[in-house]
Amino acid sequence: MENSKADGDDSKKKGGSLPLRLAIAAVLAIGLILWMTLRDDDDSSSSSSSGAEIVSVDSLRETAAGQDAPIYWAGEQEGAELELSQPDADHTYVRYLTDGAEAGDPQPDFLTVSTYSTADPVAALRSQGDEPGGVLGEAPGNATVYFNRSQPQSVYLAYPGVDVQIEVYDPDSKQALQLVNSGQIVSAD
């Protein structure tokens, strides 16, 4: 009789663990499906997972011409490849990759010109100029320029009547400001 009681306890343990085993199997199946989906997306795409891709000057200009909002850039830069990424309709990034860097490189070591669609960007920059460390100025084309002394690697500019704010980032803060002040930051179209 003890044996049949013991056998009954074993079957309860096995029966009780069935939902746990099914839950584990379901989690593993979902994990496998996600892994296969993400792996296939990476394998089938020539651009990085961030949507960044190396483009030619002509391709950048074609992309810019086909959009409502302008895309700004710093023109061609010697020794650099153009990387274009557009995570959404309101944000465009043109990076200048050097030293064999590939599209999507996570390092912030590159000149980057970002274009952000926004309403009244000139007023937004002027109000930021009132913040501690804020510096306001002007650049060619009647552009309003702003940067903060605590982060001088990013210089922002906006043109009257154009609903985009442009950020010029360079690891060398002097280079970012020089590009803005020289008038080299222009629309790509």
- What was the pLDDT predicted at 18? 65
Predicted confidence (pLDDT) per residue in 52-104, tens digit: 999 999 999 999 999 989 999 999 999 999 999 999 989 999 999 999 999 99
Mean pLDDT of 2-12: 47
- What was the pLDDT predicted at 10? 47
Predicted confidence (pLDDT) per residue in 26-52, tens digit: 445 454 444 343 433 433 333 444 589
Residue 15 has pLDDT above 60, yes or no: no
Predicted confidence (pLDDT) per residue in 112-163, tens digit: 999 999 999 999 999 999 999 999 999 999 999 999 999 999 999 999 999 9
Residue 16 has pLDDT above 80, yes or no: no
Mean pLDDT of 163-180: 97
- Give the span between the Cα atoms of 23 and 8, in whole angstroms: 24
- Give the span between the Cα atoms of 96 and 84, in whole angstroms: 9
